[in-house]
Structure 1
Amino acid sequence: MNTLLRSPLFWLVLLFLGLLFGMPYSGPLFHYLFPALERPVWQQSSFISLAWAHLVLVAISSACAVLVAGGVGILVSRPAGEPFRHLVQTLAAAGQTFPPVAVLAVAVPVMGFGSEPAMLALFLYGLLPVLQGTLAGLNAVPAEVKEVAQGMGMRPSQVLLKVELPLAAPVIIAGIRTSVIINIGTAAIASTVGAKTLGTPVIVGLSGFNTAYVIQGAVLVALAAVIVDQVFGCLQRRLTGYVK
């Protein structure tokens, strides 16, 4: 219990949940801070539903990015896929150079308003960090270790699953960590095309000159990103200790 109380992650989660449940009752505080605003607290939908929709959007898009970029990274790290490595890296980098708003603007006429175009934009933005982390992690595995595994009679698939991926896991997780953190922040923009996220109060606040709405949404998005970053940090430390 003492260890839990000393963990920054525990207090961050507690603060996040406290704000989610307590924000609707923070009227007196925001009335004091913004006396000119008639409605200084977001009431159109609950922060809990917005947070859930935000995290689901990020989780699905990030999972797809991990599966695609991780799988492609493994393929191009094999001898047969090596000639396509530069092409794959270039395409992934190109996908991330497009501004999210531009991707949304192109996707909306085809896919309509809602979470689908947002998921496409987040998917494209999540590819490059995962791909880079996968390639860097697999390249860092010493050749001697792979040769010893092959000398023990392991097949290439066994070397990959039992030797390369476990050793490369901390670096791969670092790439996934970067990808997910980027997507948590970028998902806030998805509200411009009708997706429900914690960015909804931010977008409405900006369009209606309501600074209180902007602060409420932005604080929750920032806290969510910090919490997820801390979770991945703990996972990386555990994996690094396991590999050592």
Structure 2
Amino acid sequence: MKIGLVIRLIVLALLIAFLISPETFRFAFAPLVTGNQPVIYNQGSLLEITINHLMIVAIAVAAATALAVGLAILVTRPFGAEFLPLSRSLANIGQTFPPVAVLALAVPILGFGTAPTLVALFLYGLLPIFENTLTGLTNLPGAVTEAARGMGMTGRQRLLRVELPLAFPVILAGVRLSTVISLATATIGSTVAARTLGEVIIAGLLSNNTSFVLQGGLIVGVLAVLIYDALSALERFLARRTGQSRRAAA
């Protein structure tokens, strides 16, 4: 466990060092280029592009989490149970229409840039968060919820003090999955002029520069692994704290 943590910290340190000073790693990518091609991506700051990529993902996941959790809470209340089919259909929209199709539909309305990418990521990230929240809220220990009722807690108090805290590890598993999917999917946003790491990969493909492609792909891949591991560790910690096992779909 400790060795794994050390390895992850080393990888994180190397990633940060590369983003701050990519020329330092020139030797590692030089064998991948031919002729007078640039070795390190030179059409913008890799650090700025990475930060912007992460910001787009964070905004989209936060919005998807707010809506998905809200819908799951609604349909698990007695007055909202009848809206379950409608809510599930809404959460499935992003999986029904691939992000590329959403981008194609959103660009004429929102124009080029970040907005269409946010819409695509938002819709694509709804389903895992919604389903995990639904699972977490509908599989709570019966003894705990009955005890809360016996203590005279109102429905709102049970939700905020008992149900959501107990379900949070499962909800977080959905957020984790949505975040990793969005990290990778955000690269296609560069096809509609969004500032993401996809522009590094696209620049490499257009110029036949393998070094550019590898740089963009490595940054996305390393970020996905590190964020996945960090959220998984937090999920396990919260599961232990609440006495719940991991029930979320991985």
Match of 2:248 in 1: none
Aligned positions of 1:178-193 closer than 5 A:
178-193=177-192
The answer on 1:140 being equivalent to 2:128 is: no
Distance 1:8 1:164 in 2: 36
Distance 1:9 1:74 in 2: 36
Distance 2:126 2:5 in 1: 35
Helix, strand or coil at the partner of 2:39: coil
Distance 2:83 2:4 in 1: 49
- How many pairs are equivalent? 242
Q: CA deviation at 1:4?
A: 9.3
35-44 vs 102-111, which moves further: 35-44
Unaligned runs of 5+ in 2: 244-250
Q: Is the 8 A contact 1:4 1:10 kept in 2?
A: no
Helix, strand or coil at the partner of 1:197: coil
Q: CA deviation at 1:87?
A: 1.9
25-34 vs 198-207, which moves further: 25-34
Distance 1:56 1:152 in 2: 43
Match of 1:16 in 2: 15
Match of 2:61 in 1: 62
Paired amino acid for 1:242: R
Q: CA deviation at 1:8?
A: 3.7
Distance 1:26 1:13 in 2: 15
Q: Is the 8 A contact 2:33 2:39 kept in 1?
A: yes
Match of 1:49 in 2: 48
Paired amino acid for 2:197: L
Q: CA deviation at 1:28?
A: 4.1
When normalised by structure 2's length, the TM-score is: 0.91
Distance 1:90 1:110 in 2: 23
- Computed over aligned residues only, the root mean square deviation of the Cα atoms, in angstroms, reads 1.7
Match of 2:247 in 1: none
Helix, strand or coil at the partner of 1:39: coil
Helix, strand or coil at the partner of 2:78: coil
Unaligned runs of 5+ in 1: none
Q: CA deviation at 1:134?
A: 0.4
Q: CA deviation at 1:91?
A: 2.2
Distance 2:172 2:183 in 1: 16
Q: CA deviation at 1:159?
A: 0.8
Q: Is the 8 A contact 2:93 2:124 kept in 1?
A: no
Q: Is the 8 A contact 2:37 2:209 kept in 1?
A: no
Deviations 1:197-237 (A, max 9, x none): 11111112222322211111000000111111111012111
Aligned positions of 1:169-184 closer than 5 A:
169-184=168-183
Identical positions, percent = 43
Paired amino acid for 2:213: V
Q: CA deviation at 1:5?
A: 8.9
Distance 2:129 2:16 in 1: 29
Aligned positions of 1:230-241 closer than 5 A:
230-241=229-240
Q: Is the 8 A contact 1:41 1:213 kept in 2?
A: yes
Match of 2:75 in 1: 76
Distance 2:85 2:228 in 1: 29
Q: CA deviation at 1:26?
A: 3.5
Q: CA deviation at 1:146?
A: 1.3
